[in-house]
Amino acid sequence: VNTLDAVILTAGTFEAGDKARVSVLKPLDIVTTAGSAGDIVAALQTLPGTQTVGEDGRLFVRGGEADETQTFVDGIRVAQPYNASTNELPTRGRFSPFLFSGISFSTGGYSAEYGDALSSVLLLNTQDEPDQNKTDVSLMTVGLGLGHTQKWDKSSISFNAAYIDLAPYQVAVPQNVDWNRPYQSLSGETVYRYNFEKGLLKVYAAFDASRFDINQQSINAPFMTRVDLHNNNFYLNTSYRGDLPSNWQLFTGLGYGYNKNKIGLNLDDEENDENALHLKLKLKKTFSDRFKLSLGADYFATKFDEIFSTSTGDSFPTGYNSDIAAVYTEGDIYFSKNIAAKVGVRASHNALLDETTVSPRISLAYKIKRKGQFSFAYGDFRQAPKQEYLKFSDFHQFDNEQATHYILNYQYSKERLTFRAEGYYKQYDHLVKFSPDNSLDFNNNGKGYAKGLDLFWRDGRNFKNLEYWISYSFIDTKRDYRDFPVETTPNFVASHSLSVVTKYWINDLRSQIGISNSFSSGRPFNNPNEAAFMASRTKTYNSMSFSWAYLLSAQKILYFSISNVLGNQNVFGYEYSDSQNANGQFDRRAIRPTADRFFFVGFFWTISDDKKSNQLDNL
């Protein structure tokens, strides 16, 4: 059973990394995608099952909202994985690709080890052991960056820091944004590793301080709304993985996140603070070639406080304290090298909701040929309502929201070729609803469904120096939640999505050319001039991006990229007036991208022991 061609459980999961048994994507090459600009999240949006929601920037997976995806670093949850932003201004993930060696992106049916996510989990793993000392220098049109790795006998440390300022770029290439102070940030990350005789200790820390000042238009306001935002974020993650007697393996970790926003809204002010803690313990043992057992426990504590202060001196505080305790157990059973199962269960108690839940999970896999297999996954997934609801917990008792996943997957994989086809069905229950007349009149009577088909093809074999992948997603989803009067498709969902990503190496020019194209059908929006709710559709979305990486020498790269090369006038939706005009119609304003195109030029220099490493995989 324990052979290289044994069956592998793959339903719902995309992996990239040196240790991945089946890598749909090569290590870190998802961030070489043209148009991603080094953002892991943007690159993942070229995979099937995701939606392009350009005015937001976060991950939307299989009909779920962005809050339904949780992010973990080395198995520890990240409570604030995105940079601070405001309405109609897309955000980015906080994490640099430079420090991560493995990525696992689950679009559903994930392990009982993880919880409090209705749709998806994104697992980022830092490098266990760097192979050499090196320094990375980045000079860019939007800022600069510096990274360094130092290796000793039993330990090593890596760090990278970046300063980003869009002010010079805004002067050279004006955006569709009325800035008072363009986006500016200072950020840094570090990983320290120490190898014990039978274990590995890792300490990861990251900080981010950012600000921007913007005037935003609203069709219902006679004047622009000024949004002056200052954000400070800190994240600490400590983990230990090692061997115990009797062939048991131990993993334990602690994560702490702090996030503070100070927002000026014209003459009013809003300030919020979030402190989030995650404690984790996991034990694992391989009893034989046919059976592996893992069990563990989690504790999550979150304290959120917000206060809104008006120019007249009035203040309105909200907030909540949340404590979640969970235990799980899961077994991997190999009936033969062609048939395997993963069976698990997760039990969780949320003290704020005063609710205990039990969520079963199961995955089955059957290998039909040496390179192909079928997989099936089923599971119940629970999640507390999102922050914008929980902060009103003093006025209402919420319940956990629930999603049940059914996934059928076929995967064919051989050297540098991968094909995946995955059908799924998700049933949503206990979604939060509120009255259109009173947004504090909450209940958990919402429901919905999502069903669809995801296709993925990657080829790095049939054409010399060319690698490409094609992703297609079809989704049929409806929800009766929030203040929806009927069950309908929400405004962040496009029924059809297609992405094509290509990377071509031109040896004579010492260059890698990248072209990616994202297409999606129109998204629904509500037009109050029509009787039906959410019955209108935007025009189709299409954006082609281009990148060129030129090796000046083995360790020096000149990089150029441009998004939306064709200059398509994409529309994400519309904002309508609250009142009718003289003709009895509701006027509207189109919600468009912040820029018709985005140009990027960078110089990247690596200084390493082997005198040949470079940053090409991270661009």
- Whether residue 283 has pLDDT greater than 90: yes
Query: Tens digits of per-residue pLDDT, 533-559?
Result: 999 999 999 999 999 999 998 889 999
SS3 18: coil
Query: Tens digits of per-residue pLDDT, 292-311?
Result: 999 999 999 999 999 999 99
| Structure token pair of residue 239 | 């983990």
Query: Tens digits of per-residue pLDDT, 353-391?
Result: 999 999 999 999 999 877 899 999 999 999 999 999 999
Share of the chain above pLDDT 90, in %: 77
Alpha carbons 539 and 573: distance in angstroms, whole number: 9
Residue 162: what pLDDT?
93
Q: Is the pTM of this model over 0.85?
A: yes
Q: How many helices (H) and strands (E) does the chain have?
A: 3, 33
Report the 10 Å Cβ neighbour count for 448. 22
φ, ψ for residue 131, nearest 5 deg:
-90, -15
CA-to-CA dists, residue 419 to 79, 331, 422, 454, angstroms: 33, 28, 10, 11
Query: Tens digits of per-residue pLDDT, 19-64?
Result: 444 445 554 455 567 666 677 888 888 899 999 999 999 999 999 9
Residue 27: what pLDDT?
43
Residue 410 zone, left/alpha/beta (φ > 0; ψ -120 to 50; rest): beta
CA-to-CA dists, residue 567 to 35, 539, 596, 599, angstroms: 14, 15, 6, 12
Residue 544: what pLDDT?
96
For residues 207-236, average pLDDT: 95
Share of the chain above pLDDT 70, in %: 93
Alpha carbons 538 and 61: distance in angstroms, whole number: 20
Q: Are 217 and 245 in contact (CB under 8 A)?
A: no
Residue 18: what pLDDT?
45
State the CATH architecture for 13-608. Beta Barrel (2.40)
Amino acid at 14: F
Q: How confident is the model at residue 151 (pLDDT cuts 50, 70, 90)?
A: very high
Domain ranges of the chain: 13-608
How many CA atoms, within 13 angstroms, populate the side-chain half-sphere of residue 198?
A: 8
Query: Tens digits of per-residue pLDDT, 492-533?
Result: 999 999 999 999 999 999 999 999 999 999 999 999 999 999
> What secondary structure does DSSP assign to 441-482, as a single string?
-EEEEEEEEEEEEEEEEEESSSSTTEEEEEEEEEEEEEEE-B
For residues 607-615, average pLDDT: 79
Residue 77: Cβ-neighbour burial (10 angstroms; 0-12, 13-18, 19+): buried
Alpha carbons 99 and 190: distance in angstroms, whole number: 8
Amino acid at 113: E
Query: Tens digits of per-residue pLDDT, 426-467?
Result: 999 999 999 888 777 899 999 999 999 999 999 989 999 999
Residue 23: what pLDDT?
44
DSSP H helices in 22-161 = 40-44
Q: How confident is the model at residue 10 (pLDDT cuts 50, 70, 90)?
A: low
Query: Tens digits of per-residue pLDDT, 76-129?
Result: 999 999 999 998 899 988 887 777 777 888 999 999 999 999 999 998 888 888
- Highest mean pLDDT among 33-42, 134-143, 249-258 belongs to 249-258
- Whether residue 608 has pLDDT greater than 80: yes
Residue 247 zone, left/alpha/beta (φ > 0; ψ -120 to 50; rest): left
- Whether residue 196 has pLDDT greater than 50: yes
Query: Tens digits of per-residue pLDDT, 587-599?
Result: 999 999 998 899 9
Q: What is the mean pLDDT of the chain?
A: 91
- Whether residue 231 has pLDDT greater than 80: yes
SS3 256: strand
For residues 151-161, average pLDDT: 94
SS3 31: helix
